[in-house]
Structure formats: structure tokens, C-alpha cells
Amino acid sequence: MNAALWRDRLGFPDTARRKRLVVTAAVDSLGTGLFLPLSVLYFVNVAGMDVAEVGLALSIGAGIALLGGPHTGTLIDRIGPGQMAALSCLLRTAAFLAYLGVDQFWQIIAISAVVLWGDNAFWPANSAMIIALCGREQRARWYALGRTVRSVGTGLGAALSGVIVATGSEGTRIVVLLNALSFAVVAVLLYTWREARVTTTTSGQETEDGEDSAEKRAGLRNVLADRPFLLVVASNALLAVCAMSLIVLLPLSANSLAPDAVWLPGLLFAVNGGLLMLAQGPAVRRIEASSPSRMLQASIALYAAGFATFMITPDIGGLIPILAMTAAVTLYTAGELIHPPTSVILVTDMARADLLGRYLSVNQLSWSVSHVITPAALAGLFAWNARLPWLVLLATCAATSGLLVLATRNLQPKEAVSA
């Protein structure tokens, strides 16, 4: 079997002349993985604050970052997604270097707001850049490959972080410095890659008589007036809650249903990660062969099946709860394989070419808002009743399915995004 057939079977894109996309994803995720285990503890140790203060400061910073989210799309459309991705990395380089001297509450708020704004700017810019560099027909494969590379890189970074921190008292500062360095490397890789630097979200066609139309100047107003798209953003926000639920609820549920199996959360997360890698090929081929709306409905059904399995898992000890939770994680993972790449594909199908950055940035809010509210909301529901969050998630799936039906029943793709 030749390389092209293996690549197709595994669901990988053609990476010829596009290897920098893989390298940047690997470097970025390695640095992120380094800092991830210390994201709260670093400030507790360095700034001398308690966990509650740090959590409040980071939450306020996240809220401030959300305010600028939609306007990043304007920058993406004006300066190009490649330059915006590089700029977001430079901002995060400076912010993580500033973390080395943080020692006050307001400093954590200000710097974390810059970091999170950079995060929120990078993802829509990266999605638009992939379309510009690789074409629409390769979207699912590149999004899936990026997810796989980033999962592996984040895991390796987290493991390496533990080793570095164990070397001595300066280990945490070294980790922060290395994360800043990773963002700087990605910025250099993108900015010195001419093809990425000159990418654009416009179709390259001017309006009649060379006019810069009022529609184009209106920009964000046009996006916010697109009601079907806003319904998709709302459904994506609910789906993001579903996607984030496992991180919050799996350790809690495993401890509640199988308290003696302290190894179970790690095993189930390993099952999740392994299936995401091994089943990528079949998932990508299915995504390419079907409509985005149909595949998103399938992912909702799979999420719901997983949540229902968690909810009805008996609290009887022994092997049955372990097998039931393994089945639940498998169903959830099947939904997770489909949902993230397909949701971005649906948004890019709905977007006007010259407003692609704005569409993607508004959609990014669905993830950003969910990141802020989901952990506390689900943990609070679980503290009230261990089965209540799963019931709420099932209701969330039902609401998401209804919103998607309303949003896509008369969907016609907008002007094709240029490749």
C-alpha cells in the first residue's frame, strides 16, 4: 500500500509543502502542555495568593478577554489570518514573560486577559489560515490532524512539566519561560513562512466600480444580522458544554461510583485519547461524505447516549460500574470525534468569504463562554446530586438538536471561501 492510500485510510491530509502547520501545532501544544498543570498553582506559589483569589483573578481576566473577542475577526479579515495568528503568539510570548514578575492581584487579571485574548484570536485565525493554505476540501483532515497533534503535544508537555518542576524551586519559572519560548517559535515559523504571512480571507474580487461597499464596511453588523448563523453559534456553545463535560465530571463520577478504583479516571481518559487517535480515519471519511448538519446531529446523539449511560450507571461497586463508564466514555468519544471539526466546517460554509474572520471569531465565543461557565456549573450540579449534571446535559443535547434544525433547514452555502 503506497503512502497516499495509508494517508487516506488514516484520515490525514496531504502535508506536502504544508509541514509547518504540523510543526507549529506540535510546538504550540507542547508549550501549552508544560504550563497546563501549573495554571493555578504557579500564581499561588509565586504571588503568594490563595486558590480562591487566583481563581477570581483568572475569571475576571477571562471575562475581559471575551469583550474583545468578536473584534478579532475584523483584524483577521484586514491583516490576514496568518499575520493574526503570528501576532497572537507574540502577544502571548510577552504575557508569559510578564508572568515571571507577577505578584499582585491586578497583574494576574491584566496579563491573563492578554493571554486569553491571544488564545481567542489564534483559533479563528488558524482555522481561516488552514482554509487559505490547504483548500476547503481538506478542512476536515487538517482540523482532525491538528487535534491529534495537539493532544499528543499537550500530553507530552504535561509529563515534561512534572519532570522540570521536580528538579527544584525554580522549576515553575522555567516552565513559564519555556511556554513563552514556544509561542515565540510559532510566531517566527508563521511570520517567516511567506505563504502563511500573505493569506487572506477575501475572495480577491472588488465590488463593481472598485467601490468598498457599505456592506463590507459594516462588517460585524452583517455577521450579527445573520440569524441562522447566530443559532449555529448558540448550538455550538451548548455543544462546547457537552465537549467539556468529561474533563469536569469523569473524575467526580469515577470516584463516586467506583471509589476503590483510584486508577479508573486515568484509564478512562486514556481510552478517550486512544480512540480519538485510532478512529480519526473513519470519522474524517464519514464527515467528508455527509453534510455538516447531519454529522452534528449524529454527534449530539452520541453525546446523549454517553451521558445517559453515565446517568444510569448503578452505584453497586464491583466491575459493572467500571464497564458501564467505559461504554459511556466510548460513546462520548465517538461524538467528540465528529463534533469539533464539523462545527467549524458548518460555520465556514455559512460565512461570506470576505467576512470569514468575523464569522469564525464570533463562533469562537461559543467555546470561550463555555470555558468560563462549564466547570463551576457542572461541579455545582454534581455537588447537589451526582446524577443531576447528566440530566442537564441530556436536556442540553435536546436543545442543541432543535437549534440546529432551525438554523440549517434552509441553509445555502455562501460565496465559497477562497483557497
The whole-number average pLDDT for the span 155-175 is 84
Q: 139: pLDDT confidence band, cut at 50, 70 and 90?
A: confident
Residue with the larger pLDDT of the pair 13 and 336? 336
Q: What is the pTM of this model?
A: 0.84
Residue with the larger pLDDT of the pair 219 and 56? 56
Q: 71: pLDDT confidence band, cut at 50, 70 and 90?
A: confident
Instruction: Give the amino acid at 190.
Output: L
Grid coordinates belonging to 396: 442540553
Task: Please work out, in degrees rounded to the nearest 5, the angle formed at the alpha carbon of residue 143 by the alpha carbons of 140 and 147.
Answer: 135
**Closest of 328, 330, 306 to residue 393, by C-alpha:** 306
Q: How far apart are CA 367 and CA 84, in angstroms?
A: 19
Residue 173 CB contacts under 8 Å (≥ 6 apart), including other chains: 46, 100
Tell me the per-residue pLDDT of 213-268, one tens digit each, with 9 for 90 and over. Answer: 455 556 778 888 889 999 999 999 999 999 999 988 988 888 888 888 888 888 88
The whole-number average pLDDT for the span 15-37 is 88
Domains 17-201 and 220-408 share a fold: yes
Whole-number pLDDT of residue 177 = 95
Q: Which CATH number does the domain 17-201 belong to among 3.40.50.720, 1.20.1440.230, 1.20.1250.20, 1.10.3720.10?
A: 1.20.1250.20
Distance of CA 251 to the CA centre of its chain: 21
The whole-number average pLDDT for the span 311-338 is 91
Domain ranges, ordered by start, for the chain: 17-201, 220-408
The whole-number average pLDDT for the span 386-413 is 90
The whole-number average pLDDT for the span 12-41 is 86
The whole-number average pLDDT for the span 320-338 is 94
Whole-number pLDDT of residue 418 = 43
* Mean predicted lDDT score pLDDT of the chain: 86
The whole-number average pLDDT for the span 123-144 is 88
The whole-number average pLDDT for the span 116-129 is 93
pLDDT at 357 over 50: yes
Is the CB of residue 236 less than 8 Å from the CB of residue 366?
yes
Whole-number pLDDT of residue 186 = 96
Whole-number pLDDT of residue 211 = 42
pLDDT at 183 over 90: yes
Whole-number pLDDT of residue 280 = 84
Q: Which fold has domain 220-408?
A: Growth Hormone; Chain: A; (1.20.1250)
pLDDT at 41 over 60: yes
Half-sphere exposure of 89 toward its Cβ, with a 13 Å CA cutoff? 27
Q: Helix/strand/coil (H, E, C) string of the chain?
A: CCHHHHHHHHCCCCCCCCHHHHHHHHHHHHHHHHHHHHCCHHHHHHHCCCHHHHHHHHHHHHHHHHHCHHHHHHHHHHHCHHHHHHHHHHHHHHHHHHHCCCCCHHHHHHHHHHHHHHHHHHHHHHHHHHHHHHCHHHHHHHHHHHHHHHHHHHHHHHHHHHHHHCCCCCHHHHHHHHHHHHHHHHHHHHHCCHHHHCCCCCCCCCCHHHCCCHHHHHCHHHHHCCHHHHHHHHHHHHHHHHHHHHHHHHHHHHHHHCCCCCCHHHHHHHHHHHHHHHCHHHHHHHHHHCCHHHHHHHHHHHHHHHHHHHHHCCCCCCHHHHHHHHHHHHHHHHHHHHHHHHHHHHHHHHCCHHHHHHHHHHHHHHHHHHHHHHHHHHHHHHHHCCCHHHHHHHHHHHHHHHHHHHHHCCCCCCCCCCC
**Closest of 52, 85, 144, 382 to residue 248, by C-alpha:** 382
C-beta pairs of 408-411 under 8 Å, 24+ apart in sequence: 408/228, 408/232, 408/293, 408/346, 410/228, 411/228, 411/293, 411/349, 411/350
Grid coordinates belonging to 152: 499528543
Please classify residue 86 by burial: count the beta carbons closer than 10 Å to its beta carbon, then call 0-12 exposed, 13-18 middle and 19+ buried.
buried
Other beta carbons within 10 Å of 149: 20
Whole-number pLDDT of residue 134 = 87
